[in-house]
Amino acid sequence: MDSAAPFLKVSCLALAEAAAVDHKAELVISLLSADMRAPSFASVATLRKHIAFYFYDQESVLPEGMTDAVAELAHLGQSWRQSGRFPQTLVHCHGGVSRSTAATYILLCAAFPDLPPEAHFETLLRLAPKPWPNMRMIAIADGLLNAMGGMLSPLMTYRNANPNRLDVFRRLNRRRGIVDRVKR
């Protein structure tokens, strides 16, 4: 699975443009709240395409736009597999922890279906060492990709092993001035 990791990079919004330049991103995927707008990424000379999805980072309800975004991400990963072309891709959300890591995991599972989801989750942990992937996004993708719960299993194992991580992220975000407008 390590051979898949070099074409993907995960970032937060504050560092996204610099990360895209450093990664020589051909594709940037932005996943931001409905009341935000993605940066233009004008300084990224290698950029060929920028896809932006706007929905709130929620798990307790299904926010408008999430299902369509997940379907498009799954389709994108499948198209990479079919074409054999894996563009240098930066995936970012506001904090670089939830929507972006879920999207990255979905892309990996869709692009490399012959590998088990556990292998993809391990790759995600190398790309983003302390993720908290949005479970609702993963559940939608699990259904779309006919994974029969396989994508959720490593996520649940990880969450059970790190029960305080979400609270730590919330405290850190409050200190940074990042306040959730909606309940997860």
Instruction: Please report the beta strands in the chain, taking only residues with DSSP state E, as ranges in sequence order.
Output: 8-12, 27-32, 49-54, 89-93
Q: Is 147 left (phi over 0), alpha (psi -120 to 50) or beta?
A: alpha
**Once rounded to an integer, what is the mean pLDDT over residues 142-171?**
89
Average pLDDT taken over every residue of the chain: 91
**Structural domains of the chain in order of their starting residue, each with its CATH number:** 5-176 (3.90.190.10)
What is the pLDDT confidence band of residue 176, given thresholds at 50, 70 and 90?
low
Identify the pLDDT of residue 84: 95
**Structure tokens given for 129:** 């060492």
Q: For residue 123, is pLDDT > 70?
A: yes
Identify the pLDDT of residue 1: 36
| Short-list 103, 126, 125, 93, CA closest to 16 | 93
Identify the pLDDT of residue 89: 98
Identify the pLDDT of residue 30: 98
**Once rounded to an integer, what is the mean pLDDT over residues 155-161?**
95
Check if the beta carbon of residue 182 is closer than 8 Å to that of residue 62.
Answer: no
What does the alpha-carbon distance between residue 152 and residue 129 come to, in Å, rounded to a whole number?
Answer: 18
